[in-house]
Structures are given as C-alpha cells and as structure tokens.
Amino acid sequence: MTKKKSAAPKKRIEPSSHRHTPGQGHCMDLLRQLSAYIDDELPADICREIRQHLGACPNCEVFIASLQQTVTLCRHRPVPQLTSIDRVNMRRAILDAAEAR
C-alpha cells in the first residue's frame, strides 16, 4: 500500500510595495484579461505572458490566487433562488450604484 502524499502547505505571498517601471509589466492589462485567463480561454502565448508577469508581480499573484479561490468556492455552492422582490431590489441597487458614479 502506498502512502498518500500530503499536500505541501501553500506559501502565503504577502502584498508588497511592488512598482513597475515604464515598459515592464502591465497590471491593468492583466486585470482586463483576468476572467478569460481564469476560464482558460486565452491562447497559450498570452497565458505564458500572464504567468511571467505573475512571477514578477507579487501583488497580481496574490490577487489572482484570491480570485481563483473565490471562483472555485462559488462554483461549488448551490444557486440561490431569488424571489421577484429580490430581483427588483437587486436591479434597483445596481441602477442606483451606476447613477452614483
């Protein structure tokens, strides 16, 4: 009988005061493509560029790890049933927030 390897504890990456100099990484470009990256919908070359950026940018690495964990948790939760009143209230809150901008 083989012994199951225990998962190594995940290394916690602390946000830093990381700053890019002009011409280096592009955090905003990464954020614009984040959904497609997490859903594995980007071409391999773009994914490679994003992984390189994440390796050089601790803040983005922490952010994307947190987002991936959130997505995983949400995918494993049942979809809540909303009443028509819930939908009206939610729609009103979204419109109010949009108008406040």
Best CA proximity match to 11, nearest among 62, 54, 51: 62
Residue 11 phi/psi, 5-degree rounding, is -75, 125
Which ranges of the chain does DSSP label H, i.e. alpha helix?
27-32, 34-38, 44-56, 58-75, 84-100
Q: Write out pLDDT tens, residues 72-82.
A: 888 888 888 88
Its pTM stands at 0.50
Rounded to whole angstroms, what are the CA distances from 61 to 4, 12, 49? 29, 10, 13
Residue-wise pLDDT for 40-63, tens only, equals: 899 999 999 888 888 888 888 898
Going from N- to C-terminal start, the domains of the chain cover 27-100
